[in-house]
Amino acid sequence: MGQVVRIAIQKSGRLSEKSLEIIKNCGIKFGSDSRVLKEEASNFPLEFLYVRDDDIPSYVRDGVADIGIVGRNEFDEQAIDLEVIRDLGFAKCRLSIAVPNDFSYQGLASLEGKRIATSYPHILEGILSEKGIKATFVQVSGSVEVTPAIGLADVICDLVSTGATLAMNGLREVEKIYTSTAVMIGRKKMGNDEKAAILSRLLLRIDAVMRAASYKYVIFNLPEEHLDQVAGIVGGMKSPTVTRLMEKGWLSVQTVVAEDLFWDVFEQLKALGAQGILVTPIEKMTE
Ligand code: PRT
Ligand code: ZN
């Protein structure tokens, strides 16, 4: 029987859906019935292992899985000697210091001698010791934000995305010490050529899916005399596709635009007299 690469994915939580979506967009078919522990894709040598996110780094280290998708925060906190194969960009959040609203905060030095509740003592310790600050860590595995109110800690260090949880608990975010996104991790050496080849095939697809997600396909009509200026605006890309419209003096231009530049490009095209600007997502895109 041929080799199969086993990927560990969070069974149910903030990472689950997006992790599976990326793999689905790679054209890999599976049931994604995450009530099961394990399942195999029907058209690609990939097997899924659905587990708690905390277990993913050690499972990969021990060879229970070959690769896994986990928050960078979890990976760095565990400090297991593995490789980040890809930054997948989703599940973005930050690890922040938050203090009760009436706490007078003057910078990290205000944490000297304080009790800090956190689930990330290792990451926090790294940052505070760099600044020569000594504090007491109160390690909690959940509901970190309630610890100041119940007298367990003076301040907290916790993950934040919108900040709503902090506000609800009378806390204010005073310092962002670390940012995290979901990453794909693996051992530094796969130790099996056939598996390594499967992983390369998978990464080729993931890269195409991720590249596509960061670009839009843009089609617009443009007065012919402005064509030269357009090249400068949509820059970076190879020459746009240009076709002549029935109406004299007008062209139809098609090109790819990076998502984060889109609104800038849009405004500049408008200013050049572009009309009927049509924007569509790209499903896959190779170099
Ligand atoms: O059950 P299992 O152990 O698998 O899951 P879990 O409960 O440990 O993890 P889960 O699903 O909550 O989070 C998985 C990963 O998602 C984390 O390790 C982070 O990498 C990432 N992530 C992204 C977040 C958040 N955003 C986030 N907002 N993890 C936690 N939060 C918390 C935050 O601390 C707050 O308590 O969500 C709450 C809401 O946040 P606000 O700021 O939007 O109010
Ligand atoms: Zn967890």
Same domain, 143 and 104: yes
Q: Which domain holds residue 131?
A: 93-180
Same domain, 34 and 77: yes
Residue with tokens 């402005």: 226
Query: What is the torsional sign of CA 55, 61, 65, 70?
Result: positive
User: What residues have CB less than 8 Å from 49, skipping those under 6 apart?
Assistant: 6, 7, 8, 9, 37, 38, 59, 64, 65
Strands 136-139 and 182-186: unpaired
Same domain, 113 and 139: yes
Q: What dihedral angle (degrees, nearest 10) is formed by the CA atoms of 152, 156, 159, 164? A: 90
* Dist. CA 233 → ligand 2 center (Å): 45
pLDDT in tens, 196-254: 999 999 999 999 999 998 899 999 999 999 998 888 887 655 678 999 999 999 999 99
Share of the chain above pLDDT 70, in %: 97
- Residue 141 pLDDT > 70: yes
Q: Phi and psi dihedrals of 249, rounded to 5?
A: 85, 0
Mutation to probe ligand 1, out of 15, 73, 76, 159 (largest number of atoms < 8 A from CB): 159
pLDDT of 195 reads: 97
- 287 falls within a domain: no
Same domain, 187 and 47: yes
Using a 6 Å CB cutoff, which residues line ligand 1?
A: 10, 13-15, 52-54, 71, 73-74, 91, 93, 158-165, 180
CATH value at residue 250: 3.30.70.120
pLDDT of 180 reads: 98
Helices (H), 4-120: 16-25, 56-62, 72-78
- The residue contributing the CA closest to ligand 1 atom 14 is 14
Mean pLDDT of 257-273: 92
Q: Are 192 and 244 in contact (CB under 8 A)?
A: no
Residue type present at position 161: S
pLDDT in tens, 27-78: 999 986 667 889 999 999 999 999 999 999 999 999 999 999 999 999 999 9
- Residue 286 pLDDT > 90: no
* Dist. CA 262 → ligand 1 center (Å): 30
Same domain, 114 and 251: no
pLDDT of 107 reads: 96
